[in-house]
Structure 1
């Protein structure tokens, strides 16, 4: 039987309910053997506001007690340089072998700029993609860059097909209606006199407690 590993990468600065909902959606669809969370030093974003240690601690809190296997994979942080997804997937493919189904999870906002990622077409030779809709970002082909839409058109597959195929397939999920961004959370924590109330619906309670206890995102 093919092992299936779902991957959720990101800066997680901080991790929020949208990240958790995206992970849970694809755990439900794909029934992966393992969910790996990959905190990154992304090359496309500016300086991170929380330290690596704080981001890892918040991820541990956000995914604690889930009824599925979660591994916080630190390889991108330990690499010590800005991260390209293609490099991480090359390493994971070497680690997991040619038969494993690797599914890289993302939101529709990331799909809409996929053609700006380094060696983006190579991603399909290394992994499958699981893409979730989010408010304001359509998954329709006419809303995507032409090159991305063309690449996806022959790769769309059911969750079962993705789970049992090593790479090259794309599973679209239109049912994620969570619209949260880390920027929105940081702004709420900086600007509100009652920041906990504003941010409380956007992050899990344990993460909000951690943010407040460690005085994160105040400046």
Structure 2
């Protein structure tokens, strides 16, 4: 069976340790050799990014320069339409074939609001969901119907992710890091330090182009 191929999407405005470290822990737990970062162009459910697409990709490159686990896929930045995850997954499924084990990494917060996603019911026909913990979020879904859906699809063995192409949900035991891009932008606007919240190379880039000032 092909290797499990995992994607991690986000606005990454900017990328920070709250993105990187839980995914690194997840990769070790699940046995991922690569994780593809998928920057969103027009995120449907949130305010538009403060940094441009080119700046966000540049920050990703800075962040992963010494992290061989990660690579970048910029396909969602090539469209002016909203970045629907299901459409990207359909394209990847067409490219990689029906047998390729494919996974999409989300946070616990995203899992809890999954029913608001565009065509969310189709996600598990296309991929597995790998869920990283988030501090302050519930562990139960907000309706009995969604909880039943979660329980029906939970994986209890990592090998289920590697030996089937889609359809499972893995609740990962990842570190709880209370870091947000919103907090980082606010701290930058206020002239406060963001040391230890994101890689030094990203901070250097932010300083060099004057992002998140004033």
The whole-number CA distance in structure 1 between the counterparts of 2:198 and 2:33 is 26
Between Structure 1 and Structure 2, how many residues are aligned?
A: 212
Equivalent position SS for 1:92: helix
Deviation at 1:33, TM superposition (A): 4.0
The whole-number CA distance in structure 2 between the counterparts of 1:96 and 1:148 is 29
Runs of 4+ residues deviating >3 angstroms: 143-147
Q: Is the 8 A contact 1:134 1:178 kept in 2?
A: yes
The whole-number CA distance in structure 2 between the counterparts of 1:61 and 1:145 is 41
Match of 1:91 in 2: 91
The whole-number CA distance in structure 2 between the counterparts of 1:90 and 1:162 is 18
CA 1:38–1:138 in 2, change beyond 3 Å: closer, same or farther?
same
CA 1:210–1:169 in 2, change beyond 3 Å: closer, same or farther?
same
Deviation at 1:119, TM superposition (A): 0.6
The whole-number CA distance in structure 2 between the counterparts of 1:76 and 1:61 is 20
- What is the TM-score with the length of structure 1 in the denominator? 0.91
Q: Note the 1:72-151 alignment, pairs <5 A.
A: 72-139=72-139, 141=140, 143-151=141-149
The whole-number CA distance in structure 2 between the counterparts of 1:213 and 1:162 is 42
Match of 1:177 in 2: 176
Deviation string 1:50-88 (CA, Å, 9 cap, x unpaired) is 0111100110111122243x3210110012222111111
Deviation at 1:212, TM superposition (A): 1.1
Equivalent position SS for 1:12: coil
The whole-number CA distance in structure 2 between the counterparts of 1:67 and 1:57 is 16
Deviation string 1:84-113 (CA, Å, 9 cap, x unpaired) is 111111111111111111110011111111
Asked whether 1:214 is paired with 2:209, we answer yes
Match of 1:54 in 2: 55
Flag structure 2 segments of 5+ consecutive residues without an equivalent. Answer: none
Q: Is the 8 A contact 2:26 2:173 kept in 1?
A: no
Cα-Cα RMSD: 1.4
The whole-number CA distance in structure 2 between the counterparts of 1:148 and 1:104 is 19
Flag structure 1 segments of 5+ consecutive residues without an equivalent. Answer: none
Deviation string 1:183-206 (CA, Å, 9 cap, x unpaired) is 0110010113xx2x2x11211111
Q: Is the 8 A contact 2:13 2:50 kept in 1?
A: yes
The whole-number CA distance in structure 2 between the counterparts of 1:145 and 1:153 is 12
